[in-house]
Structures are given as structure tokens and as C-alpha cells.
Amino acid sequence: MEGVRHSPVLSALFGMTEDSETLGAAQLIKERLYFATLRSKPKSTANTHYFCTDDEFIYENFYSDFGPLNLAMLYRYCCKLNKKLKVSFCC
């Protein structure tokens, strides 16, 4: 990630520096939802909730392929994400 500059929000949320654990991050919903590729799983804080679905939504290959998740898994992921976005954070 040489020469890549990160936004102040992403830098604060993911500790993004030149030698950080973050491989990449993108803001999907302003100040609400971010997608990040990390080397390790961070711990959630009072203001930030991290979650990983790597062990929950497993791709079942067909003839040794490595394609995307099937629609059932995608639907489950969307339901999970929607539920998490509905949770309101209290001060």
C-alpha cells in the first residue's frame, strides 16, 4: 500500500498507517458502515463494532472451483448486516 493516503476517519477507525494491520478499507455508508481487509481481528469498542463472517459463511465448492458464495449465503449475510445496521448505538 505504498503511496496510498487514507482518510482521517479510516485512519482513526482502523489505525491505518504505512505499517498497519489494515490491508485496505472503504467507507460504504458515511460514518456508519465500512468494509476493511485486516490481517487480524480487532476488538470492538464502545463506538465501533467489528465483525467477521469468514468462519460463518463458507463457500461449498463444486468440482474444486473457488467461486463466490451462493445466493442463500449472500441472503444470510444481507440479513445479518441489516440487523446490525438497525441496532442503534447509545451514548
* Single-letter residue type at 52: C
Q: What is the model's pLDDT at position 81?
A: 95
The Cα 49–Cα 51 span in angstroms is 7
Q: What is the model's pLDDT at position 7?
A: 62
Q: Is the pTM of this model over 0.75?
A: no
In the predicted model, what is the mean pLDDT of residues 56-65? Answer: 80
Cα angle for residues 39, 81, 79 (degrees, 5° grid): 135
Classify strands 33-38 and 22-29 as parallel, antiparallel or unpaired: antiparallel
The answer, yes or no, to whether residue 43 has pLDDT greater than 50, is: yes
Q: How confident is the model at residue 6 (pLDDT cuts 50, 70, 90)?
A: low
- Helical segments of the chain, H only: 8-14, 71-86
